[in-house]
Amino acid sequence: MSLVLTGVPVLVVDGPEAEVAAELLREQGAVPVGWGDVATRIGLVRIPAGTQKTAADEALAWAHRNGIPVDDRRPREEAQEQTQDATTSASMSSAGEVILVGGGPGDPELITVAGAKALAEADVILTDHLGPVDLAEDAAARGAELIDVAKIPYSRQVAQERINELMVERAKEGKKVVRLKGGDPFIFGRGYEEIEACAAAGITVRVIPGVTSMTAGPAAAGISLTHRGLNHDLTLVSGHVPPHSPKSLVDWTALAGMTGTLVLIMAVKNAGAIAGELIDKGRDAATPAVVVENASMPGQRVTSATLATLGETIEREGLGHPAVIVVGDAAGHIAELG
Ligand code: SAH
């Protein structure tokens, strides 16, 4: 289990190993908190007034209510005896957590085993419209709360804040919250922002990687992103901002100078402009460019073009979102798949 502990308060329970626990937590950037004599003895940040005189079970209940993880190293029998009600719900694993799950490109079989398990155990699932939405619906059918965050009626920025709030609120209620993402959470998925929001609220976060559309799309189409003797580099670029926009963070000149495989995502709308820019900056206009629409899903369509014809092909064929575009000599080899 990977925990992001930077800046996160963690309750240290008094006992022979409390000092070691506090030291280890500080090394990981966490803020050890505690109560009573132990707080004075090893310099813990005191938990809020009203709980100063607390016994272990009160402190644990406080931690649970606030979604604060607990480092409890007391011998097992002692811990159980003292804190029968509170501890069970306040231990690290059951205090409520958020799991960012990469759901893969859409085919429900392309989620990882760990991802499927997290969905099966989730109390709450936040999903949008890419990835294996059916799996989220299955989980809802067995009683999990399903929140379709694509339906949050705000601007993108505000919607993201609302998503963060919802995850934190539910986790603080002690729930197991799955944030289901299309592909992999760390590829144009705002996964890191969501982790930061959880960490700021003291919520434990795990990440389960996913099969990204960057690789699954070409694979489903029979395109190998690397070919021995053909290319030694592979670049992923988001095309959601066109080349001449002041918002573009891409070095288009450098990109045009590369000879290997280029994968474009979120690029259907700007594909013509992107191809034009690459050609202007020196990439061969005859370079193969293949559009894989709805990869791994019913209705998958694979359409071949070149850089010179990419824009007009997309328009003529009416290709749309979601699609991965593969540019490069590797895209000139499409295997027949069964
Ligand atoms: N985190 C995701 C990407 C999110 S950005 C991942 O790792 O796959 C959204 C873009 O991903 C879409 O605009 C499209 O370019 C691509 N995409 C996602 N699912 C896709 C699919 N099934 N087929 C083709 N492209 C897909």
pLDDT tens for 94-104 read 579 999 999 99
What is the sign, positive or negative, of the torsion defined by CA atoms of 150, 161, 237, 276?
positive
Helix (H) or strand (E) holding 78, with range, is: helix 76-82
- Spatial CB neighbours of 178, under 8 Å, sequence gap ≥ 6: 98, 99, 101, 118, 119, 122, 124, 125, 126, 139
pLDDT for 53 equals 55
Å from CA of 225 to ligand 1 middle: 16
Query: pTM for this structure?
Result: 0.74
Q: Is 22 helix (H, G, I), strand (E, B) or coil?
A: helix
Picking from 289, 263, 102, the residue whose alpha carbon sits closest to that of residue 186 is: 102
**Average confidence (pLDDT) over 171-175:** 95
Half-sphere exposure of residue 214: CA atoms within 13 angstroms, side-chain side: 21
Q: Is the CB of 181 under 6 A from ligand 1?
A: yes
C-alpha separations of 187 from 86, 206, 266 in Å: 39, 16, 12
Q: Mean pLDDT lowest for which of 6-15, 80-89, 232-241?
A: 80-89
pLDDT for 83 equals 45
The whole-angstrom separation of Cα 334 and Cα 109 is 23
Q: Is the CB of 236 under 6 A from ligand 1?
A: no
Strands 261-265 and 323-327: antiparallel
- Closest ligand 1 atom number to CA of residue 292: 24
Å from CA of 82 to ligand 1 middle: 50
Q: Is the pLDDT of residue 89 over 70?
A: no
- Closest ligand 1 atom number to CA of residue 265: 15
pLDDT for 77 equals 57
pLDDT for 42 equals 85
Mutate which of 100, 112, 130, 240 to test ligand 1's pocket (most atoms within 8 Å of Cβ)? Answer: 130
E strands, the chain, in order = 9-12, 31-34, 45-46, 70-71, 97-102, 124-127, 145-148, 176-181, 204-208, 234-238, 261-265, 288-293, 301-306, 323-327
**Mean confidence (pLDDT) of the chain:** 88
In order of start, what are the domains of the chain with their CATH numbers? 9-90 (3.40.50), 97-211 (3.40.1010.10), 214-332 (3.30.950.10)
CB atoms within 10 A of CB 89: 16
- Spatial CB neighbours of 76, under 8 Å, sequence gap ≥ 6: none
Q: Is the pLDDT of residue 76 over 70?
A: no
Q: Mean pLDDT lowest for which of 28-42, 110-124, 164-178, 190-204?
A: 28-42
Q: Is the CB of 266 under 6 A from ligand 1?
A: yes
Mutate which of 324, 326, 327 to test ligand 1's pocket (most atoms within 8 Å of Cβ)? Answer: 324
- Closest ligand 1 atom number to CA of residue 213: 8
Q: Is the CB of 296 under 6 A from ligand 1?
A: yes
Q: Which residues are catalytic?
A: 128, 151, 266
Q: Mean pLDDT lowest for which of 2-6, 13-17, 113-117, 234-238?
A: 2-6
Confidence tier at 17 by pLDDT (50, 70, 90): confident
pLDDT for 197 equals 93
Q: Is the CB of 213 under 6 A from ligand 1?
A: yes
